[in-house]
Chains A and B, each alone.
Chain A
């Protein structure tokens, strides 16, 4: 019998029409773009009419456990294998969701796209090759913002406000194309 650490198959951030905003796959279960898009479409269609705003919702889709949470025009999904501990998946989802909320002034598609670098870094800090790297939203946000990069203060001792300050600073730089 093989025992594995909890593995995250993918993290998806889709918009209110099911289009990709930012996605990250950690598994070879979907070998090409077509199969990835098919999975996203299937999950989106099956969840779009569900109100997953107050609490994270959950379902079994195509043999995977998917937890999801929506806010404004954004749909957050975390996928695990069919025998994964559902509560662990939910913790990862919450970590991602909250970290994005800490980093962005306003969680909606527009702001996410304007700060796509932060969201992509967020994904990078949450899971590494399927293994959960960190799921505490404050720590994730702080690492994304490189708070403490120069100081010797351990990250865990940082506060939300510090992280927020960095995020605001980032926003203030006003994205230029």
Chain B
């Protein structure tokens, strides 16, 4: 081996390589040859250490060793235990862990490592423990258990930590052995060494995690004492919030166990502890604004920190809080605004989206100006986040649609990738659907966009929408030009969509029909089959091939069968037999089998998504369309008339129980249908004849008229059972339903899929489901509340005053009333500025039967926190006004 040239002296063959590396030109074969020095009778420790470094370098660069190579290296390395050189020994430990020898090879090093475990040198002991525990199997563990137990309480922290962390890993494979160390681990929790305390606490919790009582005891004793290590303190906070989550809080007194401990941690000297505690408080379920305040205050301080990591952590947490408690975050708005210009774009984006969630109507214009500059220099992924935030802002303040729609159309014209453009287009589509006033301007923005759109998917989506919405606008003819341009200029897929869109105009607007026919005729010579076929088909329809009503339904209604079902029916259809029968296609949704057990992270995401959906308040119209279609496909319910409202999902079981059931309340003018979505989470069971038995003893206004069973429910595949009720006429029917899931259980062998034939009857108690007054009110968006208010005859106004009693804050009172009424807050009046003594809140909705109802709530709070409310209701139907008052009066 040649001596390494001194740095700076250049070799010929790496003249171009400006960088110098001791590993230049390294090659696996050569290094493996070099590894023979491990077998020398006279070991050169330094040289051996270098060869190991080279091997590790190769592994680190992604090189792999074959089984034989690894075995050879491993055996050679074991020889090196003869050397007393400290540096070499460390490298030997490292490479043994990297190579991870197979079980039969481990034996070779066991005795050497066990010797090191009893060495006088603490660092040898610590490392030997880590290596041995990493490579060993259960059998050997028994032999060394005694040493490990002692090591846990060793006076040197490095030894103790090594044993504890190894125990943490071993707990997966050998829980019984590790659990026997409990006493020692408990002693180590009291260690003065900060990291030992941390490792001991982590292990102790891991040992006891399935024993709720033990965890609760652990938390109770440690939160009183002094845990010095910041990392251990962070752990304790996590465990504490788990205990809080699982223990039922005392909702009456409002006192949450251990809240004081979390709040105390906000004054800890270590920033990581302060943050961990603040975050834990914001994530408490059902957190009140009083509980939130101290956490928000420390997070606000973090916002102006000089450290990007702290600003990021704080703004990310506040952003999450803003989804559920926007008013709580409003105090931070000034600090947030200064973060828009933060060098770190992640922080800036989070700040903007937080502001968009908490901002009030008056700040929209200013905010949009700042965002316009900001959008120029951020990446697409951030832009998408901003676009989504703007969309929800626009739904919250529909009067601002003009400025927000303009913003969206401006950014639509700028450069951007598909995902970004898709997000913008989808936002505009949603705004068009939700805000009638925005329709015309939205459509013309989209028309301009498809003139120069490189994404086929987006063009076809927009053309479809133009076909449906365009004919119903004031001047349908102006869209024709844009659509026909597509026929001339685009690829076949877009051309086909354009032809369909044209046909819809032809069918819906009589005056345009002759001109449309001319245009479609030109498409008969298109060089693409699909385009020609569509043109022929539509010409036939429009030329009176079918009656007018028929052609309209054909063009404007989508298929009433799920596409997946249609596809499978078509696949099994044999063309020779008879004509394909559309009505024979099954209408019931077949759900995808449940995916593998969800990870905790995705569950959390689902929970957040759920909260988000709840915060938005109403289901998107596409979801309620889907419900209506589903219900109409069953003969039992098809005669119930028009579906008025479908509630959000209500969970009727706790998470992670054997059967998971949630329910949707479908409200019809005279009927209520309860839809129970059931999932069987037991692999070993197949459920047959699944039904829900509903007891109406606390819901006397309801008479059961129909029900629908679920014939079979295999593992993981959700299914629906239904029960329908007739309501007593002439009154607002409310009540509580108690529900029992009934079924026949059949055992299934999960390996073979065989199931026994007999089975046995069983039942499962579900939680109660309540139909409240809010179920009879539909949230509606009113762009001009004042105008709508004045448009209703003032004679139909009913005013009354109510005392609401003592409340924590005005915000809480406002929220409570909104929830009871289930109406849509307008003009952002649902958020109360902090410390306000009075507040006015405007609500809009549609009452069952179709009458529009507007509500003005005026709140006042006195020094004793007594809240009084004046309720003014206007509706075209005086009956409805009275009913709203009745709802509040009886709440």
> Which residue numbers of A lie inside 8 Å of B, CB to CB?
1-6, 20, 22-23, 33, 36-37, 46, 50-51, 55-60, 67, 81-83, 85-91, 109-110, 113-114, 116-117, 120-121, 124, 128-129, 131-135, 143-144, 146, 148-150, 154-156, 170, 173, 175-177
Contacts and interface: CB of A to CB of B under 8 A. Distances in A.
B53 interface: yes
Interface in B182-199: 193, 195, 198-199
B105 to A, nearest CB: 21
Interface string B597-614: 000110010000000000
Nearest to B345: A59
State the 4 A-B residue pairs at the shortest beta-carbon distance, nearest first: A87-B272, A86-B313, A5-B202, A90-B309
21 contacts: A1-B246, A3-B205, A3-B238, A51-B343, A55-B307, A57-B308, A58-B309, A60-B346, A86-B310, A86-B313, A86-B316, A87-B276, A87-B313, A109-B19, A116-B22, A116-B23, A120-B56, A129-B169, A132-B195, A149-B86, A177-B3
B122 A148 contact: yes
A71 B20 CA distance: 18
A81 B306 contact: no
A122 to B, nearest CB: 11
A171 B156 CA distance: 28
Given A87-B272, A149-B86, A131 B168 contact: yes
Nearest to A87: B272
Interface stretch (B57-65, B491-499, B526-534, B870-878): B57-65
Given A1-B600, A149-B86, 12 more contacts: A4-B238, A6-B231, A55-B306, A56-B309, A85-B276, A87-B276, A120-B53, A121-B94, A128-B165, A143-B158, A154-B157, A177-B4
A61 to B, nearest CB: 9
Interface string B37-78: 000000000110110110011001110000000000000000
Contact of B165 (A20, A86, A91, A133): A133
B308 A58 contact: yes
Nearest to B64: A33
Nearest to B59: A120
A165 B22 CA distance: 23
B2 interface: yes
B245 interface: yes
A151 to B, nearest CB: 9
B48 to A, nearest CB: 11
B91 interface: yes
B275 A133 contact: no
A148 B123 contact: yes
Most A CB within 10 A of own CB, among B242, B310, B313: B313
B538 to A, nearest CB: 46
Contact of A156 (B20, B193, B601): B193
Contacts of B239: 3
Given A3-B238, A113-B22, A146-B90, A173 B56 contact: no
A28 B195 CA distance: 25
B275 A85 contact: yes
A134 B343 CA distance: 31
A56 B313 CA distance: 13
Contacts of A55: 306-309
B235 interface: yes
Contacts of B2: 177
B583 interface: no
A91 B316 CA distance: 18
Interface string B93-123: 0100100000000000000000000000111
Nearest to B205: A3
Given A20-B60, A20-B61, A86 B4 contact: no
Contact of A85 (B46, B50, B156, B313): B313
B4 A146 contact: no
Contacts of B271: 87
A50 B344 contact: yes
Interface string B138-178: 00000000000000000011100110011011000000000
A90 to B, nearest CB: 4
A92 to B, nearest CB: 10
Contacts of A6: 231, 234-235
Contacts of B61: 20
Contact of A83 (B49, B50, B604): B604
Given A5-B202, A133-B165, A59 B53 contact: no
Contacts of B91: 117, 121
B87 interface: yes
Contact of B53 (A86, A117, A124): A117
Interface in B125-140: 130, 134
B396 interface: no
B1 interface: yes
A159 to B, nearest CB: 17
Given A121-B94, A124-B94, A146-B123, A175 B272 contact: no
A146 B309 contact: no
B312 A58 contact: yes
A87 B275 contact: yes
A133 B129 CA distance: 14
Contacts of A173: 46
Most A CB within 10 A of own CB, among B53, B91, B245: B53
A5 B235 contact: yes
Given A23-B60, A86-B275, A149-B86, A1 B123 contact: no
B21 interface: yes
Given A56-B307, A82-B601, A149 B124 contact: yes
Contacts of A133: 161, 165, 195
Contact of A1 (B21, B134, B234, B242): B242
Most B CB within 10 A of own CB, among A50, A67, A117, A129: A117
Contacts of A149: 86, 121-124
A176 B46 contact: yes
A59 B307 contact: no
Nearest to A155: B158
A155 B344 CA distance: 38
A177 B22 contact: yes
A167 to B, nearest CB: 12
